[in-house]
């Protein structure tokens, strides 16, 4: 008999793609990563950018949205690791 493929939960599948926030060393991340860290859907963050009504504001890099890691950490109350 053939073994059935292992089914991963959504959290398991997405968590493997992103660096833990406390280890993130880039100054800004893309919308998918920011949505993962903030536990929101990417479209929610795009709405925040469009309506300018979210808890954080993105920057634009070559026409694309980028979200500052420091802002994400501030919203979540996570230390920035700098002393």
pLDDT digit string, tens, across residues 37-68: 999 999 999 999 999 999 999 999 999 999 99
pTM score, two decimals? 0.76
- Residue 38: which residues within 8 A CB-CB, separation 6 or more? 45, 72, 75, 76
Joined together, the tokens standing for residue 69 give: 């890691």
Tokens 């963050």 belong to residue: 45
The whole-number average pLDDT for the span 74-78 is: 92
Assign 83 a pLDDT band (cuts: 50, 70, 90): very low
Percent of residues, the chain, with pLDDT higher than 70: 76
> Which value, in Å, is the radius of gyration of the alpha carbons in the chain?
15
């Amino acid at each position: 008999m053939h073994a059935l493929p292992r089914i991963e939960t959504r959290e398991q599948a997405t968590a493997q793609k992103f660096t833990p926030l406390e280890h993130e060393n880039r100054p800004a991340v893309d919308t998918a990563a920011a949505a993962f860290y903030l536990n929101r859907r990417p479209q929610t963050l795009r709405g925040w950018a469009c309506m300018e009504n979210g808890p954080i504001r993105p920057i634009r890099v070559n026409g694309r949205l980028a979200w500052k890691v420091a802002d994400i950490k501030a919203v979540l109350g996570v230390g920035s690791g700098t002393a």
